[in-house]
């Protein structure tokens, strides 16, 4: 069914689009483009009945929002989380539009979500839910329409089921309908670590600009899933001191920094974050403090990387942030009110729509490879990703310096300019301007 407007609070979507207003004056585009971007193009709400393993029936709510498709098909992940709401999906879809525009991908923005705690479902239940969702939204997605991908608590296996289900519906193998697939089913090499790697390339550009030495830099990472783990791994390999990490259960802190490969190994084997050092398969516990997710954000570090969920840095804790740089791997970790406080404190925020764009960039590479039927080696993926991330990081950084604005406003101005030019190129307004 098509969703009706709900009485649900609009905060997160309103907060998201408010960022456009401050960027508008630097984008030099027609106000009509701004108006269009304030309204998602299509909103779908579905119910997904699932036969559970014990024979009972559960019905889950799901959403897909295509925010904009001026520059290309909608593009954006599908999230499985108990707190998913229509407003959250709308905000996430909006961010995807801006993110694709910042890095110049030929896409609009989309997002989907199912209200579910996936940890409570068996693998077979998860598969039935995922396939059921695709059956409900199949008419609204497609390689040239809207292309989903993984997000929080969805992964390559789920993307594989979804691609398979869609291919059955259209009676044609269609790998380009979804990205983030397993490699044997048409996934791209390098998609698994692309988000963390893209953020890492941003930090490498800052390293070049600021001339710092990695072993002097302390990093705290909130969220130790796909984005956070890979970012931590790459930074650690370069000598950065990753002194704190956390997951939904809480965090660990160690002033000397952690051996990140050991943390990743135990987290992925035991699903628990443990302060350990491993040699081969033997892991020893190392000295570390347990800290809460809230405390992690306020640690005295050089770089803070929120890589979990949105709304983590708010007006209540922004004044306590001690990091000089925040690299937003998560989508929307900072509220607009918090942004103002961080800007006043001269904290450099590399905004989500730039910092975590590595994921969608390699998703784009996957889509291109699927359409071409020709697959690239890993080095080519890394080189192409680095070229795009470094180039677009510097373009946003230069715009920030030129206008003396914060980096988020600069990123939105850049995105708005690209989308605004595409909207104006459709020519409708020009026709009236010329004839009246």
Q: How far is residue 351's CA from residue 406's CA, in Å, rounded to a whole number?
A: 10
Q: How far is residue 147's CA from residue 133's CA, in Å, rounded to a whole number?
A: 14
Question: Closest CB to ligand NAD among 70 and 195?
Answer: 195
Q: Are 258 and 275 in contact (CB under 8 A)?
A: yes
Question: Closest CB to ligand NAD among 70 and 293?
Answer: 293
Could you identify the residue written with the tokens 């024979």?
Answer: 55
Q: How far is residue 245's CA from residue 238's CA, in Å, rounded to a whole number?
A: 17
* Residue of 75, 111, 181, 267 marked active site: 111
In the complex, the smallest distance separating the C-beta of residue 87 from ligand NAD, rounded to whole angstroms, is 15
In the complex, the smallest distance separating the C-beta of residue 332 from ligand NAD, rounded to whole angstroms, is 7
The beta strands (E) that lie in 41-142 are given as 42-51, 57-68, 74-81, 109-115
402 has catalytic annotation: no
**Cα–chain center distance at 344:** 26
Footprint of ligand NAD on residues 289-328 (CB under 6 A)?
293, 307-309
Q: How far is residue 251's CA from residue 230's CA, in Å, rounded to a whole number?
A: 17
Distance set, CA 311 to CA 15, 106, 289, 303 (Å)? 10, 29, 25, 18
In the complex, the smallest distance separating the C-beta of residue 246 from ligand NAD, rounded to whole angstroms, is 5
Is 356 an interacting residue with respect to ligand NAD (CB under 6 A)? yes
3-state secondary structure labels for all residues of 333-353: CECHHHHHHHHHCCCEEECHH
For residue 312 the two structure tokens come to 């983590």
Size of the site for ligand NAD (CB under 6 A): 24
Question: Closest CB to ligand NAD among 177 and 405?
Answer: 177
Q: Is 322 exposed, middle or buried (0-12, 13-18, 19+ CB in 10 A)?
A: middle
Question: Closest CB to ligand NAD among 27 and 121?
Answer: 121
Question: Closest CB to ligand NAD among 46 and 264?
Answer: 264
Footprint of ligand NAD on residues 175-214 (CB under 6 A)?
195
From the list 330, 400, 419, 422, which residue makes contact with ligand NAD (rule: CB under 6 A)? 330
In the complex, the smallest distance separating the C-beta of residue 314 from ligand NAD, rounded to whole angstroms, is 13
Is 153 an interacting residue with respect to ligand NAD (CB under 6 A)? yes
Q: How far is residue 64's CA from residue 75's CA, in Å, rounded to a whole number?
A: 11
In the complex, the smallest distance separating the C-beta of residue 273 from ligand NAD, rounded to whole angstroms, is 8
x/- binding map, residues 216-255, to ligand NAD, per CB under 6 A?
Answer: ------xxxxxxx-----------------xxx-------
Q: Are 111 and 43 in contact (CB under 8 A)?
A: no
For residue 80 the two structure tokens come to 């499985």
From the list 69, 88, 151, 205, which residue makes contact with ligand NAD (rule: CB under 6 A)? 151
Is 392 an interacting residue with respect to ligand NAD (CB under 6 A)? no
Where is 291: in which H helix or E strand?
Answer: strand 289-291
In the complex, the smallest distance separating the C-beta of residue 232 from ligand NAD, rounded to whole angstroms, is 11
Query: Which residue is nearest to ligand NAD, using beta carbons?
Result: 225
Question: Closest CB to ligand NAD among 186 and 420?
Answer: 186
Positions touching ligand NAD (CB under 6 A) are 150-153, 195, 222-228, 246-248, 293, 307-309, 329-331, 356, 359
Active site residues: 111
């Amino acid at each position: 069914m098509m969703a009706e407007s709900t009485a649900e609070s609009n905060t997160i979507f309103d907060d998201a689009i408010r960022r456009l207003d401050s960027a508008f004056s630097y984008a030099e585009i027609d106000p009509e483009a701004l108006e269009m971007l304030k309204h998602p193009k299509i909103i779908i709400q579905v119910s997904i009945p699932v036969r559970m393993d014990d024979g009972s029936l559960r019905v889950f709510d799901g959403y897909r929002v295509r925010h904009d498709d001026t520059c290309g098909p909608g593009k954006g992940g599908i999230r499985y989380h108990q707190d998913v709401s229509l407003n959250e999906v709308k905000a996430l879809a909006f961010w995807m539009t801006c993110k694709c525009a910042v890095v110049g991908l030929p896409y609009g923005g989309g997002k989907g979500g199912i209200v579910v705690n996936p940890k409570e479902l068996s693998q077979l239940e998860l598969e039935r839910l995922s396939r059921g969702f695709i059956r409900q939204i199949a008419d609204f997605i497609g390689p040239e329409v809207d292309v989903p991908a993984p997000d929080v608590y969805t992964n390559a296996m789920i993307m594989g089921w979804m691609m398979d289900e869609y291919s059955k519906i259209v009676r044609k193998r269609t790998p380009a309908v979804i990205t983030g697939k397993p490699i044997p089913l048409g996934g791209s090499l390098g998609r698994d670590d692309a988000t963390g790697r893209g953020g890492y390339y941003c930090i490498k550009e800052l390293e070049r600009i600021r001339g710092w030495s990695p072993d002097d830099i302390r990093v705290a990472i909130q969220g130790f899933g796909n984005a956070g783990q890979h970012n931590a791994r790459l930074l650690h390999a370069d000598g950065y001191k990753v002194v704190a990490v956390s997951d939904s259960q809480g965090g660990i802190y160690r002033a000397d920094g952690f051996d990140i490969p050991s943390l990743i190994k135990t987290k992925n084997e035991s699903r628990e974050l443990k302060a350990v050092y491993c040699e081969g398969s033997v892991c020893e516990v190392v000295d570390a403090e347990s800290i809460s997710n809230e405390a992690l954000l306020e640690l005295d570090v050089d770089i803070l990387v929120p890589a979990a969920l949105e709304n983590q840095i708010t007006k209540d804790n922004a004044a306590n942030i001690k990091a000089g740089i925040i690299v937003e791997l998560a989508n929307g970790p900072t509220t607009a009110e918090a942004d103002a406080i961080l800007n006043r404190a001269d904290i450099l925020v590399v905004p989500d729509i730039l910092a975590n764009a590595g994921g969608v960039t390699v998703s784009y590479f996957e889509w291109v490879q699927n359409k071409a039927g020709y697959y690239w080696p890993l080095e080519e993926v890394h080189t192409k990703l680095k070229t795009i991330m470094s180039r677009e990081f510097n373009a946003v950084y230069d715009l920030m310096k030129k206008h003396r604005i914060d980096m988020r406003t600069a990123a939105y101005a850049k995105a708005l300019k690209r989308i605004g030019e595409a909207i104006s190129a459709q020519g409708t307004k020009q026709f009236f301007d010329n004839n009246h």
